[in-house]
Structure 1
Amino acid sequence: MTEHVLAAIDGSQFAEGVCDYAAWASLALGAPLSFVHVVDNHSWAPEEQNLSGSLRFGAREKLMEELSALDEQRARVNREQGKLMLEAAKARAVEDGVSSPTTRQLNGTLVETLVELEKDVRLLVVGKRGETAHQASGHLGANLERVVREMHRPILMVPKAFQRPEKVLIAFDGSQTARKGVEMLARSPLFAGATCHVLIVGAETAEHRSELAWALNTLREAGHHAEGAIRAGEVDDALQAYEQESGIDLLVMGAYGHSRIRHLLVGSTTTAMLRSSRIPVLILR
Structure 2
Amino acid sequence: MRERIGRLLGTRVENLDDLGSSHSWTLHRASLADGREVFVKAAPDQAGVFAAEAAGLRWLAEAGPGTPVPEVLGADDLLLVLPWLPSAPAGAEAAERLGRELAALHTGARPEAYGAPWEGFIADLPLDNTLDDRDWPRWYAERRLEPFLRRAARHLSADDVRLVERVMADIERLAGPPEPPSRIHGDLWSGNIMWSDGRALLIDPAAHAGHRETDLAMMALFGTPLLDRVLSAYDEAAPPADGWRARIPLHQLHPLLVHLALFGGSYRSPVVEAARGALAAGA
* TM above 0.5: no
> Which entry has the higher C-alpha Rg, 1 or 2?
1
Bin the TM-score by the shorter chain.
under 0.3
TM-score by structure 1 length? 0.26
